[in-house]
Structure 1
């Protein structure tokens, strides 16, 4: 299947085509060239994207798609501490049933597609309910089964067995949807016995690990008290740094440990909006990048973020970086776009072809178009296109979305998911979840 795309602006790794022509064949970009003197192609397969910018699809490298069923419940509260997470979220999750997951995931996938995300990394339990919806959506994803053991031997055995069953079934999925292992948090919630089993399982199935890390310093406090080393140093001793792994948040990671991650398949995923909303310590973004660590972006859950908009994450990261460093442009617009595209793909490593996350021959045709008027761009000589996208763009400006050369959204119309139907079911499931939690809360004193 061939498609020829013509857009007013095409964002290449080293320049901008104005206008440009991108040709796609069998889901892969074959050429990206400026429009010639004889005008744009007039082939039957040509799609005109007039008044639009064509850019690589965005990567949300850390989220929890089923949690849209609890969207907004944690506003004004921090989920980056074990206590906050347990009291606000875990009590609800104890009443969550598998049948309530698919609609919530469909809502999340629809919202991600509509705001320009083509690839994401998920981490949650009931993962077997997540992947069919992701497959139907047409998105690319690494879905990790979230393992929560809280030091309980029975829970550990149960969760590891469930993760294994999930990975066995995930082996039959299309290549763009992968099954991963998802320890909730090393040391804080995942004992070394669990860590050893999780590493062995990731090796057996050839997949990555996706965990929360350094959200509030609890891992380092434990490791210093127990082993006399930082958490990263202890992780290296256990062999964790020898595997592909996403470490989400990294707010309190020890800066001197960052060189240990350079040159590895371990990536840090920063979630600036959740970091600020939680009043957390800003992550050492510049030190990590300068040390050669892969640094990507994610939204985390929408319980207190409230949005899957990766444009908002880029903008928040840029503002946060300048604020904490005390200097403007601490992260350039180009760096921010790279964090949300190329670095995200490098972190996940699930694209079958390279260079993923860019518009270049051989790259997967994961593309989005953004309406030029919606950017409110300054004069071309005054504001770069990169700056206009990061600081003037939003998910609402996205018009078209393509993954592997297949349209998932055209002119704002979702083609693979019905958001209205999914939202209605999600809201009904949320009502049932709240009712179950209320019943159990009222019955608790009677059981005592």
Structure 2
């Protein structure tokens, strides 16, 4: 892998930042992993030591993927034809394979996923899976910014509950102070569905004590509401509010069936809706109510979920599908605007993960997490006919990302991933998959979520 010096100044023909500010050409000054200044190039373009001129390219904030499962690239595509948003699909498709998984089969697939993120412009992500202690070293090596949540599945089993909460809490504690860009969270798999109320309260208390967040699947298909109406006579969201579960940073992944008339219960809380349009479409479930949530003041973010079902991690594709699905389901063109969608994928993602108010923008004090795309690869209409934001959302692919950095450190230059040995990770992943398949054939069980 080629070495590239980290820059002090980045110059490009276009620098774009939410809420829609453009400098053309623009220059970004970076120091200590953060943006020091940004503005138009005056007189002549800077040059010399510490200056990187990206030429005919657009520089923008890196994208934030707020719902992912990096080890699951080991099982990419196995869920085709199934919905993993139901307990039936989760148990029959995933648990039957994860029962044979051991920690040694995790790191290579995490590296494969991290390289995939880097190639597609993701600079920050939120992960939820077990064996997070084996996920963290690979993520730290990749240089990506991340909140890693140890997945907790207890299914009403007292022994499993105690074991999984203890493991998740110990992991979150162990990550404190380890990295400037990677933190440990707790990951209840699904409130009420496979994490019961006593477990949920213990998870909330642990998260509050450690100053971290919770990452959970919620309102994927209405199962939580069915349970809560039977057990409490309320909806799941009402019950979460009563239990004070939304007082710590919380990623609520999917939110396809969350009642629109209850969205105000999320407004002003520490919870965010992480929507995944492509998975909703593939799984045959309703689209998350993005427009209503934004209007209610809810923090809406964007994720890709796992590649067992989604099969890719292109957040540009998710942005495009968000806009189209919102218009299709509402029958209102441009119901969520391109500018709003870009904010969802940048500023809102950092907000959900506890970032500073300026993070996700290119402005003084913001984290220097940036990506660059050749202008020729943004399929945009004539200037004046189509906005730059529309060109980014509807005419750009994650495969067009050429350069990316986190905290001022290059992770990819000229489409070469610098922080992950991609070939070695892919080769090891294949060996790991062959081991998993042989274990399944023999009936050898692993140690995950048992």
Tell me the TM-score normalised to structure 1 length.
0.96
User: Which segments of structure 1 move beyond 6 Å, counting only runs of 4 or more?
Assistant: none
What's the counterpart of residue 38 of structure 2? 32
> Is 1:396 the equivalent of 2:402?
no
> Is 1:326 the equivalent of 2:327?
no
What's the counterpart of residue 164 of structure 1? 169
Deviation at 1:84, TM superposition (A): 0.7
Is contact 2:351–2:357 with CA below 8 Å preserved after alignment? no
CA distance in 1, matches of 2:379, 2:221: 38
CA distance in 2, matches of 1:183, 1:168: 16
What's the counterpart of residue 16 of structure 1? 22
SS in 1 for 2:239: helix
SS in 2 for 1:50: coil
Between Structure 1 and Structure 2, how many residues are aligned? 439
What's the counterpart of residue 446 of structure 1? none
SS in 2 for 1:23: strand
> Is 1:372 the equivalent of 2:378?
no
What's the counterpart of residue 440 of structure 1? 443
Is contact 2:150–2:187 with CA below 8 Å preserved after alignment? yes
CA distance in 1, matches of 2:47, 2:444: 65
Q: What per-residue deviation string (whole Å, max 9, x for no partner) do you get for residues 67-123 of structure 1?
A: 000011111211000101110011101111100100000000000011000000000
RMSD after superposition: 1.3
What's the counterpart of residue 53 of structure 1? 58
CA distance in 1, matches of 2:278, 2:422: 24
> Is 1:355 the equivalent of 2:361?
no
What's the counterpart of residue 415 of structure 1? 418
CA distance in 2, matches of 1:44, 1:78: 53
> Is 1:193 the equivalent of 2:204?
no
CA distance in 2, matches of 1:241, 1:25: 35
> Is 1:265 the equivalent of 2:270?
yes
Aligned positions of 1:157-236 closer than 5 A:
157-236=162-241
SS in 2 for 1:47: strand
SS in 1 for 2:151: strand
Unpaired stretches in structure 1, ≥5 consecutive residues: 443-448
What's the counterpart of residue 248 of structure 2? 243
Is contact 1:2–1:26 with CA below 8 Å preserved after alignment? no
Deviation at 1:354, TM superposition (A): 4.1
Deviation at 1:236, TM superposition (A): 1.0
Deviation at 1:171, TM superposition (A): 1.6
* Greater mean alpha carbon deviation, residues 183-192 or residues 375-384: 375-384
Deviation at 1:371, TM superposition (A): 1.2
What's the counterpart of residue 344 of structure 1? 349
CA distance in 1, matches of 2:178, 2:96: 32
Deviation at 1:160, TM superposition (A): 1.3
Is contact 2:247–2:269 with CA below 8 Å preserved after alignment? yes
What's the counterpart of residue 445 of structure 1? none
Deviation at 1:228, TM superposition (A): 0.6
> Is 1:293 the equivalent of 2:298?
yes
Is contact 2:100–2:444 with CA below 8 Å preserved after alignment? no
SS in 2 for 1:296: strand
Deviation at 1:441, TM superposition (A): 8.8
CA distance in 2, matches of 1:297, 1:131: 22
CA distance in 1, matches of 2:331, 2:227: 32
CA distance in 1, matches of 2:90, 2:7: 47
Deviation at 1:2, TM superposition (A): 5.7
* Greater mean alpha carbon deviation, residues 424-433 or residues 137-146: 424-433
CA distance in 2, matches of 1:135, 1:172: 13
Deviation at 1:172, TM superposition (A): 3.7
Deviation at 1:216, TM superposition (A): 0.4
